[in-house]
Structure 1
Amino acid sequence: MGSSRTGERLHSLTGDKNTDACRDTSFRRSVLVYVDRLKRRSSNPNKMKKERVQMRGKVAIITGSSRGIGAAAAKLLAGRGAKVIVNYASNASAAEDVVASIRENGGEAAALQADARNAEQMNGLVSETVSRFGTVDILVHNAGMNFVQKSFEDMSWEEFIQKTNDELQAAFVSTKAVLPFMKKQKSGKLVYVSSGLSNHSAPLFISHGTSKGALNSFARYIAREFGGAGITANIVSPGMVETDATASIPEAFKQQQAAYLPLGRIGRPEDIARAIAFYASEDSSYLTGTYLSVSGGGEM
């Protein structure tokens, strides 16, 4: 498996080694502070009560949040006080279940349909969000795109490029839809859900890994262009996670992967959701263009 490249991704265009080291140290310090805060909250009931107000007044759109990582992120952000739009492409029932769960726990959410690749639909979703909640502060680009699992030799160009087209179109359209509102208020949080396969290879995943690598590059360019407007853009990169998307993977293979990981288990949606919440919060206010591997040590 690949080694961690977080520090390399923080390097400035100038190549100043001292600057690079400072940025890498700043990133690691911010993550450690955040983890320490989580530990203290879990051991202190008063801190847990305060958690609900951490994102009070913030409005989050999470694409592809009717299930898996997106659903876990929607519930967590709502639990911290954010008003959440649970976006779905086709599974309205699953999205409404997520909304119902949020509301049962005292949160505020609504389910809105839109294909993240469709500019008209996404612009409509953002307009409806602003109509309901007044603004949009957070975009979590999580919508999953189908891809073909084949060897390079057996794959056609059309099969290969479709995943990259879909991935980048969804990121482009979703980002374009929210930026005017974030620029107007001079603040915004953009979180892009990538994959560890963007950073290391695995058999039959060439179209998926390539597309996620392109997504990582896209996110960094957005971070560069809109940092001056108070907008941050960061990448959360999961390893293997227990979701319905991985349900068909043989259990023996999952156990083999878990045994390789330093933390000894496959990820859960909640693990990834916590990293998303970090980037969506003010705890990450001085981080942009960064890549965070959430893989149990798989990219170490």
Structure 2
Amino acid sequence: MKGKVAIITGSSRGIGAAAAKLLAGRGAKVIVNYASNASAAENVVASIRENGGEAAALQADARNAEQMNGLVSETASRFGTVDILVHNAGMNFVQKSFEDMSWEEFIQKTNDELQAAFVSTKAVLPFMKKQKYGKLVYVSSALGNHAAPLFISHGTSKGALNSFVRYIAQEFGGAGITANIVSPGMVDTDATASIPEAFKQQQATRLPLGRIGQPADIARAIAFYASEDSSYLTGTYLPVSGGGEM
């Protein structure tokens, strides 16, 4: 990835931070995007630079067109263009049963999820179309295909994201732009820190590989789609779940 320029939304921690470090380690110039946690983003940048990589932290809400357009313009100003977008920004959601949930609570996650994907993609496309090259990688969830109690708003939003990506892949393939989905199972991040360890271990025993995922596991799949190794793949869905989606 030497010389490639990557924007990774929501990369101040967890999967995004792991992806930022890995892509930078493989030669990409990386924009570490964050919504509010500037110190965490700067820590990721510091780690990248300490290991000889090139990176910068830029704030933007992935749902905000003005902010994302500004982030992309700043990226191009610093590094010349944009070659890779990893859409990883996480959106909060209500965990309730369908019976207890209001329409507003239900649709909020899907609205935020698709708005962030729509806005981020729209912001980078002019650069990718101009150079006839681009790698779009979207982080989804196994819950977009498999139901779990209290996760109806989250799972529905990720199912919608999966459909969105296929349409982007179809429309822009002729412009040299690929769009693919990385779909993690349970991953050991801040987002799952509140889940009891006993439950995580129980889930691990049900997986063919016998453990829940680590951010680095997902980052390696993201790096595959961001590299030339995936040049003939677009519109694909890759479960990264230790065999859990079987």
TM-score (structure 1 length as normaliser): 0.82
Cα deviation 1:84-129 (Å, max 9, x = unaligned): 0000000000000000000000000000000000000000000000
SS in 1 for 2:229: helix
Query: Using the alignment, how far apart are the partners of 2:198 and 2:47 within structure 1?
Result: 33
Deviation at 1:241, TM superposition (A): 0.2
Deviation at 1:250, TM superposition (A): 0.6
Q: Percent identity?
A: 94
SS in 2 for 1:218: helix
User: Within the alignment, does 1:156 sit opposite 2:102 as a pair?
Assistant: yes
In structure 1, stretches of 5+ residues that fail to align are: 1-54
Aligned to 2:177: 231
SS in 1 for 2:232: coil
Cα deviation 1:64-93 (Å, max 9, x = unaligned): 000000000000000000000000000000
Query: Using the alignment, how far apart are the partners of 2:232 and 2:190 within structure 1?
Result: 34
Deviation at 1:228, TM superposition (A): 0.2
Cα deviation 1:142-180 (Å, max 9, x = unaligned): 000000000000000000000000000000000000000
Cα deviation 1:257-293 (Å, max 9, x = unaligned): 0000000001000000000000000000000000000
Which structure shows the bigger proportion of residues in helix conformation?
1
User: Within the alignment, does 1:299 sit opposite 2:237 as a pair?
Assistant: no
Cα deviation 1:161-205 (Å, max 9, x = unaligned): 000000000000000000000000000000000000001100000
In structure 2, stretches of 5+ residues that fail to align are: none
Query: Using the alignment, how far apart are the partners of 2:144 and 2:41 within structure 1?
Result: 28
Cα deviation 1:242-262 (Å, max 9, x = unaligned): 001100001111011000000
Count of residue correspondences? 246
Larger Rg: 1
Query: Using the alignment, how far apart are the partners of 1:68 and 1:207 within structure 2?
Result: 21
Structure 1's consecutive aligned runs of 4 or more residues displaced over 6 angstroms after TM superposition are none
- Match for 2:40 among 74, 89, 94? 94
RMSD (CA atoms): 0.2
